[in-house]
Structure 1
Amino acid sequence: MMIQHIVMFKFKEEANGKSKQENLLEAKERMLKLKDEIKQVVSLDVYFNDEQAVKDNYDYILVSTFQTMEDLNQYQVHPSHVAFGQYIAPLRESRVCIDYKIKD
């Protein structure tokens, strides 16, 4: 069994002097770097809500996979992940998350 970690963010229209689109792109770039920095990450992808989709959908989704819950917990406290959390906090309106077991 593996662990799927899914996080969704609703971004502010503007934050840190940048538009929502600029912040989405930078957040994706920063998140994708964690794949190489944190050894516990098996896979990690980021997607945006489609421009033609309902506007009250969440804007950003992170889909990541870990071997075990312990690996996910180590990822959560890794300095690179903590730094990302501090970076994204002022950019977002809300966050939702789910962690669940999947078959490998």
Structure 2
Amino acid sequence: MAPSRKHCPDQGRDRTPDRAKELSNLTEALRRLADWPEGTVHGTSGGRRYVVSKTCFAEGRSVKLVATELGGPDYISLNVYDLRRGPLLKPCEMPEQKVVAFLADLCA
């Protein structure tokens, strides 16, 4: 017997505006990451304060960012790889949306 397929309410609908917004948020997040200074500094995102460490490898083609909330439990960890086909964001054991939202709002 073939496995039953779940019905998705938006199946077949155009999700282009949502995808465009996701790409816009990702683009902004990657721009903020590129502009963020290498090393360890304090920053804010989502109204919270963090200690943020950014390390670049392979002449900047690989970037590691780790952020720990000051006085709180939040933790962000990610890698970005600059591939020929474009940047590849790899969050570490957390949803990509959390990382993108953090980066898009990150400021010193």
TM over 0.5: no
Which of 1 and 2 has greater Rg? 2
TM-score by length of 1: 0.31
TM-score (norm 2): 0.30
Report the structure, 1 or 2, having the larger helix content.
1
Q: Which has the higher contact order (CA 8 A, sep 6+)?
A: 1
